[in-house]
A and B are shown apart, each in its own frame.
Chain A
Amino acid sequence: MSYWQNLNDFLAMGGYGAYVWGAYAVSALSICLELMALRRRRVQAVGAIKKDA
């Protein structure tokens, strides 16, 4: 059961599509970038230990 009639209706968000999807997309992107940064930091930290050993 959905509030929307069809996919276009959903994407348009009653005329607020750019605002709603702009908010969600940038938030998702921020989280993805943080996860990538966390991954890189871990690889570097582990690599530095291997160099010492």
Chain B
Amino acid sequence: MTINWFKYAAPNSFYPWSGRIIPWCYAAAAVLGVIALYMGLVRAPADFQQGNSYRIIFIHVPAAWMSMIIYLGMAFWGAIGLAFNTRLSFYMMSALAPTGAIMTFIALWTGALWGKPTWGTWWVWDARLTSELLLLFLYMGFIALQSAIEEPRRKDRAGAVLALVGALNVPIIYFSVQWWNTLHQGASVSMTRSPSMAAIMLWGMLIMAGAFWLYCIGATLSRVRSVMLERERLSAWVQDLEHR
């Protein structure tokens, strides 16, 4: 069986199918989120070094992962848009930015509230924290840049260039704890070695990461539908939607 991806990528067919899957994304995110909260806040024991302050990890790490993944997603769609000149790719890029900014804010906020009891300070200007703050500024700069440009083609291209250049910061964030001395601990989960966490803590965090993924997909699809209506409101397929 071959799937005709181009059919699903055309705005007039993407719009209805994305609308159908959004509620499922939100519902699955809510179910996984409740399970993860129960595991992380109710069932999991305290950490032997950090006591109960470590429970911030269940939102801090998933939000930090999403903050990086979403920026890479923006760069990916920007690259596809520049290469193939596909409108929907640029809309996806734009729709990802606010959700990415919120995930970055959550990562920074929860990190500060975890840093205070653990390190004795809300903030340090080390490589991990500074590069994550730069990520927040990249998201805000992207949103400001796109809202400042009226002409659609320039808006899309300028956004894609910023998304691609800014994506260089993502590996810097990820590897900063290895490349520089930092207060921030290294990765709790890695592809190459077994995780340095107890099973219930690890699963609570991974299930929450699943919830964050699904929430971000739902929110981004919801926003991209609005972007499509805003940018294509004079086109025939949008007019047809209203007459149905």
* B238 engages A27 (CB within 8 Å): no
Main SS at interface, chain A: helix
A17-42 residues at the B interface, CB under 8 angstroms: 19-20, 22-24, 26-27, 30-31, 34-35, 37-38, 41-42
CB proximity of A51 to chain B, nearest CB, Å: 9
* A42 engages B226 (CB within 8 Å): yes
List residues of chain A with CB within 8 A of the CB of B106: 26-27, 30
Q: Give the total of B residues in contact with A, Cβ under 8 Å.
A: 40
List residues of chain B with CB within 8 A of the CB of A46: 229
List residues of chain B with CB within 8 A of the CB of A20: 52-53, 55-56, 113
Candidates B43, B56, B223, B239; contact of A19 at CB < 8 Å: B56
> How many cross-chain pairs have Cβ atoms below 8 Å apart between A and B?
96
Nearest-neighbor residue (CB-CB) of A34 within chain B = B102
Given A16-B53, A19-B116, A23-B114, decide whether A4 and B223 contact each other with a Cβ distance below 8 A.
Answer: no
* B45 engages A24 (CB within 8 Å): no
Main SS at interface, chain B: helix
CB proximity of A37 to chain B, nearest CB, Å: 7
Expressed in whole angstroms, the Cα–Cα distance for A18 and B94 within the complex equals 35
List residues of chain B with CB within 8 A of the CB of A34: 98-99, 102, 219
* A38 engages B238 (CB within 8 Å): no
List residues of chain A with CB within 8 A of the CB of B55: 13, 16, 20
List residues of chain B with CB within 8 A of the CB of A30: 102, 105-106
CB proximity of B219 to chain A, nearest CB, Å: 6
Expressed in whole angstroms, the Cα–Cα distance for A44 and B233 within the complex equals 12
CB proximity of A21 to chain B, nearest CB, Å: 9
CB proximity of B178 to chain A, nearest CB, Å: 25
Task: Name B's A-contacting residues (CB within 8 A).
Answer: 41-46, 51-53, 55-56, 59-60, 63, 98-99, 102, 105-106, 109-110, 113-114, 116-117, 215, 219, 222-223, 225-226, 229-230, 233-234, 238-239, 241-243
Top 6 nearest A-B pairs (CB, nearest first) are A14-B52, A45-B229, A16-B53, A23-B110, A13-B52, A23-B113
